[in-house]
Amino acid sequence: PGLTAAAILQKNQDESNANNSNNNSSSASGETSSNNNDTKVIFTDYNPAVLENLKQNIELNEFDVSHEVYGLDWFHQQPAGHNDDDEDRAGVMKREENIYVERKANTWVDTEGKSHDQLKLILGADLIVCSNDSDLVAHTLDASLAEGGMAVILGASADRRFGVADFPNSCRELGMKVDVEENILEAREDGGEKLMEELEMGGYNQRACTFGHDFTMFTIHKPVVSSM
């Protein structure tokens, strides 16, 4: 899914550059940046093998948009008090090394303990598998999504994955707004053909649909909170 989004972003940027050459007009692409030079794609996963595969795929696809690849652990994005061992500590225990990862406010932290600024747009797929993933993913979005930002999460339907049904409420409890679109392939006029084409750009195997599986899409908005 990350490479799918990246491929679409790169296509949009190529079209934008062509428009700039032909029409002398400017067009922003990507994360609602003011210009193309501000666009950056960040790929994340927890599994080191997947991260290496991401890097290889980026190189093989000659992806030339500014990008970074980071390890991401949802447990590291939880708020203070989420960890029962130390309720007053701002952060959570890094499980492998048995040390604490300190996360500053309005940032997310990678698996190396480095903090990063919040993002304007987050795309994710097949994130929710276990029952507790709904809370973990919601808190991760809250930590990593900037105010006014949007996340689009694509995954299996609630009858195929634990935690999917609880995910909207987990996000709403943190003040985020959630729109839910179920059976998105069935609901589309083209039967989801265009969506499947875009998914297949990232290597998605269509056999899931062959067996009658459909998808649920969550669109999450983080409201801007007035400082006054």
Model confidence, pTM:
0.73
Helix (H/G/I), strand (E/B), else coil: 116: strand
94 and 113 in contact (C-beta within 8 Å)? yes
Confidence (pLDDT) at 86: 44
Confidence (pLDDT) at 149: 94
Please give the C-alpha separations between residue 47 and each of 50, 180, 190, in angstroms, as whole numbers: 5, 28, 35
Q: On the CB side of 209, how many CA atoms lie within 13 Å of its CA?
A: 19
Tens of pLDDT along the chain (228 residues)? Answer: 554 555 555 555 555 555 443 333 222 223 333 334 567 889 999 999 999 998 998 899 888 888 899 999 998 898 765 554 444 444 444 545 555 566 778 899 999 989 999 999 999 988 998 889 999 999 999 999 999 999 999 888 888 888 999 999 999 999 999 999 988 777 666 656 676 666 655 555 554 444 456 788 899 999 998 665
Q: Which of 220, 204, 217, 225 is nearest to 172 (CA)?
A: 220
* Residues 6+ positions from 166 with CB-CB distance below 8 Å: 131, 134, 135
Confidence (pLDDT) at 39: 74
Q: What are phi and psi of 80, to 5 degrees?
A: -55, 140
Confidence (pLDDT) at 171: 97
Q: Per the structure block, which two tokens stand in for 98?
A: 């048995």
Return the C-alpha torsion angle 183, 187, 190, 194, nearest 10: -50
* Residues 6+ positions from 82 with CB-CB distance below 8 Å: 92, 139
Secondary structure (H, E, C), 81-111: CCCCCCCCCCEEEECCCCEEEECCCCEEECC
Helix (H/G/I), strand (E/B), else coil: 153: strand
For 36, which DSSP code? G
